[in-house]
Amino acid sequence: MNKLFGAVVLGLVSGAAVAGDYLPMSGADVARFSTAAQTVASHEARVLGTEGSNWKLLSDFLGLGETWVWTAAGDEDVWIFNANQNRSYRMANFDAAVGTRWSLRLGPCNNSAKLAQRGETISTQAGSFANTTRLDFTSSCADAGVGSAWFAPGVGLVKWSEASIAGPREFSLMEAEIGGQHYGATSSATVGLELTARFPGPRVLSNVTPSVPVYLELTNASEAPIDLHFGSSQHFEISLLSAEGDVLNTWGANRRFAQFMNTLSIAPGASEVFGGEIDLVSLENGQALDVGTYTLRIEIKGHNTPEASAFTQGSPFAMEAPIYVDRRMSIGN
């Protein structure tokens, strides 16, 4: 990894010191994003690791999961590393003129970006941010891919839009701790349970990896125990959805669960991890999925109010992410 990343960085040219201002996350910094209606659970970004003095591995970036990002105090560029193609791409040039466009490979769908606008004020649950820079992305997928992203100086990413099988949606900053500065909610009652998901991809080869792991971690960020109430021994479900939103497979499809009321208590500061592996096949015919874009969804089958556990449809604790299913081609015998 050192050799690979070192070769990537050698070609960069120093410029204005702006990239670090627009993506300053480091150390113990954390940022959480959610849709306005919070019908899709939040994404959490934090630094998982570093390589050299400029590369950092973020737990999530633009809803794409774990992503290596390069920034430097003396350079205007932000670079990302695309593991599937084993190379880096310029994600942004914050010193470029408005209208400047460049090629990239961001996830399985986005193939170019443009510096679209400067100076917008963006309002989020975490506050209002002035003088943001907006990047617009083009996508080769009709129902997936990042649309636009807004970055605020000194804070970083504060909002992005994306396409989905359910239509366009926006994620904005809900709460953050960046460089010792807190943004957003401060009370434990507001923070409550924090959700962190681990999804595969965003691209998998079904004839190499026939099943994929999906996990959801619930952390009690309050100062009191939080009880989750369940109506059966099934505490979670993983679903595989088509581009049209049809359920193709579920983790619990061929399992039996006892029907009884039970409670799981999460102590202050403690976490519980739910999840497992789901096969990349259609239950209808038992065949491997066709090449294309799908959605993975994991939800907790319980609620934090006893009266809701047996009667309420849906779950307040759920996350989903796109996944592009491909196949490795063999040439010759």
Is 108:141 a contact under the CB 8 Å cutoff?
yes
Is 275:237 a contact under the CB 8 Å cutoff?
no
Q: Kindly tell me if the per-residue pLDDT of 6 is higher than 70.
A: no
Peptide bond into 202 cis (omega under 30): yes
Chain centroid offset of residue 221 CA:
20
pLDDT tens across 32-70, in order?
898 866 555 578 899 999 998 889 999 999 988 889 999
Give pLDDT, residue 330: 54
Q: How far apart are CA 280 and CA 105, in angstroms?
A: 24
Q: How far is CA 53 from CA 22, 27, 88, 196, in A?
A: 17, 12, 16, 27
Q: Record the tokens describing residue 329, joined without a space.
A: 């081609």
Q: Kindly tell me if the per-residue pLDDT of 88 is higher than 80.
A: yes
Give pLDDT, residue 27: 85
What is the Cα Rg of the chain in Å? 21
Pairing of strands 211-220, 271-279: antiparallel
When pLDDT is cut at 50, 70 and 90, the band that residue 281 belongs to is: very high
Tell me the whole-structure pTM to 2 decimals: 0.57
Which letter does DSSP use for residue 287 in this model?
P
Q: Supply φ then ψ for residue 90, to 5 degrees.
A: -70, 120
Q: Where in the chain are the domains?
A: 2-186, 193-326
Q: Alpha helix (H) ranges present in 237-286? A: none
- Choose from 29-38, 67-76, 266-275 the range with maximum mean pLDDT: 266-275
Lowest mean pLDDT among 17-31, 77-91, 95-109, 176-190: 176-190
**Mean local confidence (pLDDT), 85-97:** 88
Q: Which fold has domain 193-326?
A: Immunoglobulin-like (2.60.40)
**Mean local confidence (pLDDT), 256-273:** 93
Residue of 72, 66, 64 whose CA lies nearest to 49 = 66
Structure-token match 């040039």, residue found: 93
Q: Record the tokens describing residue 146, joined without a space.
A: 């990042």
Q: How far is CA 73 from CA 19, 23, 50, 118, 268, in A?
A: 7, 10, 16, 20, 38
When pLDDT is cut at 50, 70 and 90, the band that residue 244 belongs to is: confident
**Mean local confidence (pLDDT), 97-108:** 91
pLDDT tens across 144-201, in order?
889 999 999 889 999 999 987 777 888 999 888 888 888 875 433 334 677 788 888 7
* Percent of the chain surpassing pLDDT 90: 36
Q: How far apart are CA 215 and CA 92, in angstroms?
A: 31
Burial class (CB in 10 A: 0-12, 13-18, 19+), 35: middle
Which letter does DSSP use for residue 311 in this model?
T
